[in-house]
Chain A
Amino acid sequence: MSWEPVIGLEIHVQLKTRTKMFCRCPVGFGAPENTQTCPVCLGFPGALPVPNRTAIEWVVKLGLALGCQIAPRAVFARKNYFYPDLPKGYQISQYDLPSCTNGNVIVPLPDGEHAVGIVRAHLEEDAAKNTHVGGRSGRIGGADYTLVDYNRGGTPLVEIVTEPDIHSAEEAKRFLQLLRQTIVELGISDAEMEKGTLRVDANVSVRPEGSNELRTRTEIKNMNSFSHIARGIEAEVERQVALWESGGKVEQHTYDFDVATGILTARREKEEADDYRYFPEPDLVPVEPPPELVDRMRAELPELPAERIRRIAETLDHERALVLVTGGLDALWHETVAAGADGMAASNVIANQLVGAGVDPASVSAAELAKLVGARERIPRKVFDEAIGKVGDAGFAAEPYLAQEAVSDAGALEPIVDAVLAANPAQVEQYRAGKDGLLGFFVGQVMKETRGQADARAVNELVRAKLGSR
């Protein structure tokens, strides 16, 4: 039987507002522990929350970008539970009346576009940061003691919940890349997983291909990059399929994914079996964004990554469009093409060489880059790479590099090609047996021998001719 993964994501995004969600303490990293705190975010008796206006505007902005309906009246609630990172004994979060609901994000996939529904996007406050010292688990049970840094406590968070519309790890990754780029472009968060300003939990289940049922799902946490998420989902899908196929049952659990070992570890039930006793936060009044404000924000929304991907895909393809847009490279690509470069070639140079060389796309002169793209087959590889490495420098000019011709004379290249083929008889055999991919290997070897001075296209033709003729 073939199985279809059913995946829903829960994404937490830390907003980069100047101050916290319910007090005026600064938001930021790296300050000494417990120095960005006040009676409100420490939960002192009598301290009261006052909502951050910017955070409320930003969640509306994000909701609009995700195609959500914006609630004319959203209500903060209290989510009650005890934990040392939660100074009030409750987290203030939107519950049954969130700011944004019913959205939709179009994800470009190699086989076309795929819609992912957004259940909701709501505002809440982040918890403080616990450090459990001692013990083996890294969790509070068994630790010798726990240190709490309240600097992070009260940072505005947006929680985004998707429908279980995602059906592969790859799709989850692409959706997240797109979402992240949208958030970054809206200027509301840096959305960096390494820093924890973007956190993702995945709800995973599987079902027989073609069926519509929803089987028991599990939750995977603790994944800190998009590729880890994809690997975590793959591992969990594999585990569940094996369970069902061996006549077992999937149990509802929360798992931590260990990237190093690829192992999923179930969390202890006790830590999560809570009744949160939600009720409307009596210290706050409902959030009622004026319709004029919502209309104005809708009108001011920039062209979003998903739309730009669709537009660029008309010229290139989804894959390249996705890479350009989610890499923040599409503006440079447009300019480079406008300056006369071939679209496909410009896309390859920007997405591969330029990014590989660590050049900041914002500092690149598109006119000069276009010249390099146009000449890239003609000039020696080494020269081209050197030029790309410097194309972001102030006052960079392509001219001096363009003057250097690559060695394309068959007479000069032939002995080198012969030598490479002679030195690698095993690969030659494999190539002849049908392993076409080895062509690149031979070309690479020749380029290495010529220290990048050879014209790659000429080498390519020569190698092909030589191997074909034998």
Chain B
Amino acid sequence: MSAVVDTLRLTAEDALGLVDRGEVSPAELHAAYLQAIDEHDGELHAYLRTVEEAEGTSIPIALKDVISTKGVETTAGSRILSGYVPVFDSTVAARCKEAGLTLLGKTNTDEFAMGSSTENSAFGPSRNPWDPTRVPGGSGGGTAAAVSGGLAPWGLGSDTGGSIKQPSALCGNVGLRPTYGTVSRYGIVAFASSLDQVGPVAKTVRDVALLYGMVSGRDPADSTTVEVDEPVRLPTDERLDGLRIGVPRQAVALEAIEPGVREAFEATIGLAEELGADVGECDLPLSFDYGMPCYYLIAPAEASSNLARYDGVRYGLREDAETYRGMVERTRDAGFGDEPKRRIMLGTYALSAGYYDAYYGQAQRVRTLIVREHAAAFETFDVLATPTSPTVAFALGDKAADPLAMYACDLLTIPSCLAGLPGLSVPCGFSEGLPVGLQLIGPQFGENVLFRAGHALERALDLDLVPERLR
């Protein structure tokens, strides 16, 4: 434990208070986290690299390594980008700087954010602070492990099909995947452009709301961003009176959901009713039947194009050869791991002449139906609730050899991602001594209602989210 603060328990909001009141300087706080990283990151491997100098006037932050940081190597967990140092800040990194946040370091991720365990990182997996033999989830396992292990007060991740929500659930953090278009993607190493969203990971819903407020808002450098009229409201309400919560029948019926996860989820829904919420069932049949295959056509298709720029010509890895083509082929063969290669092949196939209509075109049509199906559900409900992950954290190596088993980790998070909707994962209990996450889905731009619901449940549950073995 650091001499200055207890990094395992200090929330970002409290840390901001300490700095504001002059009780701790930004440099002292930064140093305290670096010390914690020194002590524990050998085991957790949450960070790919740290920044020694505290440059800023506020508290520290950890950024997932897909977020470009000027002058600080950004690899997206891939060998093909090893040694790549951006000459520009991503918009979110710039907004963190403007807010005075000091960059603690870059956190580990599955290569190009493709994975659900960080085992696809070219630089080795991260480990779960609750049990280092288990994965922290992914792709944003580094940020999640850092926050729950006391190695960062908060951090930013990116979510394409569950990469913020699922690791938050597996590590006992709060994580928000915002509405598509509310946070700039400028400078985020792209995986699947129509799905990628940056969002906060922290210890509390209020911390998540605070950080979301700092980084969200239209960005002229990202044409797909929009200005949201409603300002971010820090939640205070501890009741859920009048809140209509929908539970998708098809989601809770999934056999993949572990009994312990189901138990914690159902108990939390019961608690929500006690707090005044109206709970009912809703139907999202297409979303849960076709969401996964639809996602695994659209995301790889976009990825196959987004990853084409890694050709060895301008930056990153380059494996020389006799010809241009030879150089590109050798570079990409040596630079990409199995999962990016798998998805590049899937995506290239889905976009090929003669197959486009049956695969990519069809997936886009299904996606439109999924959007409509969700919109219909929000005519009756304010939020939808499911478990975030069907399982608690699993052991390293458990699913690494079975891509389909790994893809199934995101069964519950993918549909709302396809619909572009915001999702908040909040710790809702434990199973086998490991945290379970509750996923709350909101309507488009419905972040505030998620904060309200998440905050009230968080207060009522009052869980101790410091990993037991570190207490």
Contacts and interface: CB of A to CB of B under 8 A. Distances in A.
Interface majority SS (helix, strand, loop, mixed), chain B: loop
B414 interface: no
A39 B223 contact: no
Nearest to B313: A84
A124 to B, nearest CB: 16
Q: What does DSSP make chain A's interface, helix, strand, loop or mixed?
A: loop
Interface stretch (A2-10, A275-283, A413-421, A436-444): A275-283
Given A46-B190, A89-B308, A146-B324, A282 B302 contact: yes
A180 interface: no
Interface stretch (A47-55, A239-247, A340-348, A373-381): A47-55
Nearest to B190: A46
Interface string A270-301: 00000101110011110000000000000000
B68 A89 contact: no
A47 B187 contact: yes
Interface in B220-266: 220-224
Nearest to A85: B313
Interface string A73-116: 00000101010100111100000000000000000000000000
A146 B327 CA distance: 12
Q: How large is the interface on B (under 10, 10 to 19, 20 to 34, 35 or more residues)?
A: 35 or more
Given A90-B308, A279-B351, A50 B74 contact: no
A83 to B, nearest CB: 8
Interface stretch (B84-92, B97-105, B397-405, B461-469): B84-92
B75 to A, nearest CB: 10
Interface string B201-236: 000000000000000000011111000000000000
A43 interface: yes
Contact of B308 (A46, A80, A146, A278): A80
A45 B323 contact: no
Contacts of A49: 223
B189 interface: yes
B305 interface: yes
B186 interface: yes
A325 B111 CA distance: 60
B84 A87 contact: no
Contact of B309 (A88, A141, A278, A282): A88
Interface string A367-411: 000000000000000000000000000000000000000000000
Contacts of A282: 192-194, 224, 302
A46 B186 contact: yes
B81 interface: yes
B3 interface: no
B102 to A, nearest CB: 22
Contacts of B301: 279
A182 to B, nearest CB: 31
Contacts of A90: 305, 308
A359 interface: no
Interface string B307-322: 1110101110000000
Given A44-B86, A48-B223, A82 B311 contact: yes
B424 interface: no
7 contacts: A43-B314, A44-B88, A46-B186, A82-B308, A148-B313, A277-B351, A285-B223
Given A279-B302, A279-B305, 5 more contacts: A44-B87, A84-B311, A89-B308, A282-B224, A285-B224
